[in-house]
A and B are shown apart, each in its own frame.
Chain A
Amino acid sequence: MNAPLSSAPATAPEAWAINVDHVGKTFTLDGGKELKAIDDVDIKIGQGEFVALLGPSGCGKSTILRLVAALEDVSTGRVTVEGSNPTALSRAHRLGVAFQDHALLPWLTIRDNIALPYKVAGRPVDDKRIAELLALVGLSGFEKARPRQLSGGMRQRVSIARALVLKPDVLLLDEPFGALDAVTRRHMNVELQRIWSEQRITTLLVTHSVEEALFLADRVIVMSGRPGRIIKEIQVPFARPRSPDVQRTMEFHHLADELTLALEPEGHH
Chain B
Amino acid sequence: MSPVSQTRSPLDWVKTAISRYWGVVGVLIAWQAWVTITGVNSIVIPHPINVVGDLVFNPGVYLANAGQTLFLAAAGLILGMALGTMVAIVAWSSRILSGILVPLGLIFSSVPVVALIPVLARLLGYDVKTVLGIVIIISFFPAFVFTAAGLKSLPPGSSDLFKVFGASRWTRFVHLVLPSAVPNWMIALRLSAPPAVLSAMLAEFLMGKSGLGFLFRQSATEFATERAFGTSVIATVISVLCFTSAVAAEKFINEKWK
Contacts and interface: CB of A to CB of B under 8 A. Distances in A.
Interface of A: 66, 69-71, 90-93, 95, 97, 99, 101-103, 105-107, 116-117, 119-122, 146, 148
B160 A99 contact: yes
B95 interface: no
Interface string B156-180: 1110111111110001000110010
A92 B257 CA distance: 30
A67 to B, nearest CB: 13
Top 5 nearest A-B pairs (CB, nearest first) are A103-B157, A90-B166, A120-B165, A91-B166, A107-B257
B256 A120 contact: no
Nearest to B157: A103
Nearest to B258: A106
B3 interface: no
B175 A107 contact: no
Contacts of A122: 171
- Of the candidates A66, A95, A106, A146, the one having the most CB atoms from chain B within 10 angstroms of its own CB is A106
- Of the candidates B163, B164, B165, B258, the one having the most CB atoms from chain A within 10 angstroms of its own CB is B164
Contact of B165 (A90, A101, A102, A106): A90
A99 B157 contact: yes
Contacts of B166: 90-93, 95, 120-121
Contact of A97 (B156, B164, B256, B258): B164
B161 A99 contact: yes
A69 B165 CA distance: 10
B163 A120 contact: no
Nearest to B160: A71
A176 to B, nearest CB: 14
Contacts of A69: 160, 163-164
B59 interface: no
Given A106-B257, A116-B175, A119-B175, A70 B163 contact: yes
- Of the candidates A69, A90, A107, the one having the most CB atoms from chain B within 10 angstroms of its own CB is A107
A217 B7 CA distance: 59
B155 interface: yes
A260 to B, nearest CB: 31
B182 interface: yes
A91 B158 CA distance: 16
Contact of A120 (B175, B257, B258): B175
A129 to B, nearest CB: 16
Dominant SS among interface residues on chain B: helix
Nearest to B172: A120
Given A66-B160, A105-B155, 7 more contacts: A69-B160, A71-B160, A101-B157, A107-B256, A116-B175, A117-B165, A148-B258
7 contacts: A95-B164, A97-B164, A103-B155, A103-B156, A107-B179, A122-B171, A146-B256
B171 A119 contact: yes
B4 to A, nearest CB: 32
A103 B160 contact: yes
A105 B256 contact: no
A254 B46 CA distance: 95
Nearest to A107: B257
A106 B180 CA distance: 9
A105 B167 contact: no
A162 to B, nearest CB: 9
B151 to A, nearest CB: 14
B177 to A, nearest CB: 12
B158 A105 contact: yes
A182 B222 CA distance: 82
A214 to B, nearest CB: 27
A27 B149 CA distance: 28
Contacts of A146: 256
A122 B163 CA distance: 15
Interface string B100-120: 000000000000000000000
A95 B162 CA distance: 11
Nearest to A122: B171
A116 B165 contact: yes
Contacts of A99: 157, 160-161
Nearest to B255: A146
Contacts of B158: 103, 105
A66 B161 CA distance: 11
Contacts of A119: 171, 175
A71 B179 contact: no
A105 B180 CA distance: 9
A93 B165 CA distance: 6
Given A91-B166, A92-B166, A120-B167, A103 B256 contact: no
A121 B164 contact: no
Nearest to A163: B164
Contacts of B155: 103, 105-106
